[in-house]
Amino acid sequence: MSWRVRVLSSPASAAGFRLAGLAVDEVRAPREAGERLTAAAAQPDVGIILMEQALLDAVPEIVRRGVEARAVPLLVPIPNPSWGGKAVDAEAFILELLRRAIGYRVKLQ
């Protein structure tokens, strides 16, 4: 079976993902994020869901945990676009992804 990548993003970022050839669901309001995530995770051929961090933060905890507990699809938060803002610490971002995936904090050396 081949898996597809699905992107859940704001309308401002959707065009960039489409130009990269990815299937995009535009989430116009944060209150829609939980429903859209549930719908994307229910599709049997979706293997990875990329979701903007601000939208993921708006997803109810029970929905988020339900999706993250499954092996497939893999839920990957992506930083929101920022113009002139503070740079994201890449190591902290990766450590947070690992903590969510394995449920334990790790220390990189």
- 55-104 pLDDT tens trace: 999 999 999 999 888 888 999 888 876 655 555 677 777 777 777 777 66
Kindly tell me the burial class for residue 9, based on how many C-beta atoms sit within 10 Å of its own C-beta (0-12, 13-18, 19 or more).
buried
Give me the CATH code for the 4-80 domain, please: 3.40.50.10580
- 32-60 pLDDT tens trace: 999 999 999 999 999 999 999 989 999 99
User: Tokens in use for 67?
Assistant: 């999706």
Q: How far apart are CA 28 and CA 55, in angstroms?
A: 10
Listed by start position, the domains of the chain span: 4-80
User: Tokens in use for 12?
Assistant: 């401002």
Predicted confidence at residue 40, as pLDDT, reads 92
